A and B are shown apart, each in its own frame.
Chain A
């Protein structure tokens, strides 16, 4: 079964620091997504990325967030100046452009901002 991988599994950072979360998507899947899940809460969409461009972003995805595909395979989410409320699980996900439209989630990165 296809697998999405994410690194690191856990990141601890101080408030105001920059963090970069990495995702290795499934090859040949063209849609990429980032989500976050604050502990005990629902999953929240952050951004979708298609054909090396942001296709949709939520209100959460403000100027402190950015996404890149720096080398054509890895997919990164950068938070420029972390806040305490950024502490959450961050998941990346892939979706193929063909049926059955399953979305595959990575294992997640737990971000703790102190």
Chain B
């Protein structure tokens, strides 16, 4: 079974600061997803990364993929309160395997 590990599980950061969330997975995959989930809500697709070295950016979020290291990162630049949410990575294999999630709280 493909395993997906995210860290940290909880992240509290001040507005204006930068931070990175890490997603490690155990076997090769050709697709890596990042999602955002607000409390009590569904999952919102942020990024789909399809190849080694892929980098995508949207606003203050930037995701990258290193398939050789089996690592994806979600970098947050100059955090704002609106980014407070839980972020999941997911890896596509025969199934979709989700990480444990990172609960991000941005403090004013």
* Contacts known (A91-B42, A101-B50, A103-B33); A56 close to B88, Cβ less than 8 A: no
* Cβ–Cβ contact B98 & A42, under 8 A: yes
Q: Which residue of B lies closest to A107 (CB)?
A: B42
Contacts of B96 in A (CB 8 A): 33, 35, 45, 103
Interface contact B90-A43, CB-CB below 8 Å: yes
Most A CB atoms within 10 A — which of B35, B42, B48? B42
Tell whether A70 is near chain B: CB-to-CB under 8 Å. Answer: no
Residues of chain B at the chain A interface (Cβ within 8 Å): 31, 33, 35, 41-45, 48, 50, 88, 90, 92, 94-101
Give every chain A residue within 8 A of B94 (Cβ-Cβ).
56
Say yes or no: A100-B48 contact (C-beta < 8 A), given A42-B88, A45-B97, A56-B95. Answer: yes
Q: Would you call A58 and B42 a contact (CB within 8 A)?
A: no
Q: Are B45 and A43 touching (Cβ within 8 A)?
A: no
Question: Residue on A with the closest CB to B90?
Answer: A43
A35 to B42, CA, bound (A): 11
Residue from the list B33, B41, B100 in contact with A42, Cβ < 8 A: B100
State the Cβ distance, A109 to closest chain B Cβ, in Å: 10
Q: Which residues of B sit under 8 angstroms from A103, Cβ to Cβ? A: 33, 45, 96
Pick the contact of B45 from A48, A102, A107 — CB < 8 Å?
A102
Q: Is residue A106 contacting chain B, with contact meaning CB distance below 8 A?
A: yes
* The one of A43, A45, A58 that contacts B88, using a Cβ cutoff of 8 Å: A43
- Is B42 a contact partner of A106 (Cβ separation < 8 A)? yes
- B95 & A104 in contact (Cβ 8 Å cutoff): no
Whether A45 pairs with B43 at a CB distance below 8 angstroms is no
Of chain B, the residue at the smallest CB distance from A33 is: B96
